Amino acid sequence: MAKKKKGGGGGGGGHDTAGGLRWLLTYADMITLLLGVFIILATIPTQSKEKLTKIGESLAKYFNIMEGPGGQKILNEKGGQGLFNKRTVPHGRSHDPEKSSDIKIPLIQAFHSEIKNKRISIEETKKGLVIRFRDTFLFDPGDVIVKTGAYYALNKIAVFIENKPNFVSIEGHTSSALEKGIFRSSWELSARRAAVVLHYLCDHARKKGFSETAMKSLQERLSATGYGEFHPLNPDLTSPVNRRVEIVILHHKVKGKDLLL
């Protein structure tokens, strides 16, 4: 009978197999990480500005990206510089407003019952998409406290605005009928109502847990104006249709330019 070879040849083979498995596991980990990065990159166009900012911060922290001379972003290791620049969203999308025609249909669907009951109307204008609330839907005559029955409608608007890059103008209007209440003029009443709606939208975002950066971005896009009785819808200046609050989703405003072009 042939003698078995000494030296445990099988043991040597086992050692080689284990070594092969080690590099295979490392390779699999690398492929998994790359797959995760590609999935994130593929979903970037569908993400909101807030989510994109968080993604950028997370990746920067994970890869230990530091700021070098001149503000250049570099890896805290050899090689791999310039992976991140200041923009954390796709070029041309950070402040580019969406078209009114693309916004109008989803809004009409969201407010179908309110439009049917003539509490809200939606109109596309040169300035942008106008969401018009009858003042009696939002406020009691002469008052500036939002009715609890209107919360759900403003919540819908808030969610919509938070997910769009457009600047938004909130505009208060009154009729010439005596309605100023405790306020000195219809300008003050209409301006206060517009500001109340603006604060409601901001409070909605805070309750959702918006970060300071996200809140600042939202606040930069909002403005409030009071027109008093001087921009009526109906020539009869006492007509109740002239008493309204309009939320205008602008399609011409971009950061660094005038509000109305």
Q: Which residues are CB-neighbours of 85 under 8 A, at least 6 positions away?
A: 73
DSSP character at residue 81: B
Q: What is the pLDDT of residue 155?
A: 97
Cα distances (Å, whole numbers) of residue 224 to 169, 173, 185: 6, 11, 17
Determine the CATH number of domain 100-250: 3.30.1330.60
CA distance readout (Å), 183 to 38, 64, 137, 191? 58, 56, 20, 11
Give the model's pLDDT for residue 238.
87
pLDDT lower than 50: segments of the chain:
7-13, 75, 77-94, 259-261
Strand partners, 226: 172
- Residue 197 tokens, joined: 């709606």
**Residues 247, 195, 118, 239, CA torsion sign:** negative
Instruction: Using DSSP bridges, classify how beta strands 65-67 and 168-173 pair: parallel, antiparallel or unpaired.
Output: unpaired
Angstrom distance (rounded) from CA 238 to CA 191: 19
Identify the pLDDT of residue 41. Answer: 75
Beta bridge partners of 223: 169
Residue 79 pLDDT: 41
Q: What is the pLDDT, as a whole number, of residue 43?
A: 72
Per-residue pLDDT at 85: 43
User: Which residue ranges make up each domain of the chain?
Assistant: 15-75, 100-250
In this prediction, residue 29 carries a pLDDT of 79
